[in-house]
Amino acid sequence: MTLPSKSLLLFLVLLPSQLLAQWPSGLRFSHHDWELACDNTRTCRAAGYHSDNEEMAVSVLLTRKAGPNEPVTGQVMIGHYEENPKLDSLPAVFELSLRINDRLIGQVAIAKDSFVADLSSSQVDALLASLVRTSRIELSAGEAVWSLSDKGATAVLLKMDEYQGRINTLGALVKKGAKDEKSVLPAEQVPVVIAAPLPTSLSDDQPLAMMDSKALMDAIHTTLGEDDCQRLTEAEGENAELTATRLNDTKVLISAQCWMGAYNFGYGFWIINASSPYQPILVTTMGSDHSDGVISASHKGRGLGDCWSSEAWTWDGEQFVHTEASTSGLCKLMAPGGAWTLPTLVTSVRSDAT
């Protein structure tokens, strides 16, 4: 891969938010037991899972970077959401046998401290060939057998080809053709965002959130749809619980709880002028926390906590730049916190001191 020029690196540093707007938008797609996440560098990750038997949960992750002649790499994970007698009986490191339609494709050594192992290139090739047709894919260790579903795989791999511009090329996974791989879309550089430090809070920052609450609330309401932040829109002026954090000499970050569900909650965050007119700019109503110039959002896909989504926005001195978006995969009882990291937005966040 050609290294970026000095002028491009300078552009990456000086104009992060504009650059993010020009980068490819990520993609998320799922069909039956398979899902796809492609990020803004055009790297794609396809994850497949077991179909029904959650006691013998298994997942495979197939990753491919964008650009000509990039290989597909693979990993396998054995589900370990809760205690399983069949898993407990296995040694700390055990051998998994991969079989496709009863043909042995080799072994994979997997350790119980992670339950994740890399697949060899030949195993990945055999797996890819089997996924575009009806196949029986099994991994076994002793009497324990895990079955990987192929349902939905063809659609997901085709979508990966489409996103990376590989359809009808020699390197396509599904719709192969005669076109050279030189024609495929290139990989994009990871955008660089320079995080700005926050100043010392001023004594009047928090009173600002209460002092002129009606004018501030009225201004904030103009940024919201009817159901965007019900807790705030239903609050009466002085009853609104607002928090203020100093961003710089002229800007303050205001936050308030917007909603609460059975196992998730969301805060709204607004950049406002430190004095009237406040001219609020809404960052998100899905926030979970703010710390040192980073607004984060983390939410369970369901109460069991086996699937999550996460996002982050980073203060660059002028605005909060969207710097992360990912999920942990389908809700399949793979592991507490989910199976994989499947991003649709990646950036490199650096401090202004580096």
Q: pLDDT value at position 10?
A: 32
- Assess whether pLDDT exceeds 70 at residue 15: no
CATH: 3.40.50, 2.40.10, 3.30.70, 2.60.40. Which one for 24-183? 2.60.40
- Assess whether pLDDT exceeds 50 at residue 7: no
- Assess whether pLDDT exceeds 90 at residue 152: yes
Residue 187 and residue 189: Cα distance in Å, rounded?
7
Pairing of β 320-327 and β 342-345: antiparallel
CB 286 within 8 A of CB 279: no
Q: What is the band of 1 on the pLDDT scale with cuts at 50, 70, 90?
A: very low
Comparison of pLDDT for 194 and 212, the residue scoring more: 194
CB 75 within 8 A of CB 60: yes
Residue 301: name the closest of 274, 280, 276, 329 by CA.
329
Phi/psi of residue 137, nearest 5 degrees: -115, 120
Q: pLDDT value at position 14?
A: 36
Ramachandran quadrant class, 337 (left: phi over 0; alpha: psi -120 to 50; beta: rest)? left
Comparison of pLDDT for 20 and 128, the residue scoring more: 128
pLDDT digits (tens, 9 = 90+) for 269-321: 999 998 889 999 999 999 999 999 999 999 999 999 999 999 999 999 999 99
Q: pLDDT value at position 353?
A: 58
Measured distance between the N- and C-terminal CA atoms of the chain, rounded to whole angstroms: 24
Q: pLDDT value at position 298?
A: 98
Q: What is the band of 203 on the pLDDT scale with cuts at 50, 70, 90?
A: low
Q: What is the band of 202 on the pLDDT scale with cuts at 50, 70, 90?
A: low
pLDDT digits (tens, 9 = 90+) for 80-107: 999 888 898 899 999 999 999 999 999 9
What integer is the mean pLDDT of 35-41? 98
Q: pLDDT value at position 23?
A: 53
Q: pLDDT value at position 352?
A: 73
- Assess whether pLDDT exceeds 80 at residue 28: yes
pLDDT digits (tens, 9 = 90+) for 207-263: 666 556 788 888 999 999 988 998 887 865 455 688 999 999 999 999 999 999 999
Q: What is the band of 116 on the pLDDT scale with cuts at 50, 70, 90?
A: very high
Give me the chain's average pLDDT, please: 89
- Assess whether pLDDT exceeds 80 at residue 267: yes
Domain ranges of the chain: 24-183, 192-351
- Please report, rounded to a whole number, the percentage of residues in the chain having pLDDT higher than 90: 76
- Assess whether pLDDT exceeds 50 at residue 264: yes
- Assess whether pLDDT exceeds 60 at residue 349: yes
Place of tokens 């009173």: 207
Q: pLDDT value at position 275?
A: 87
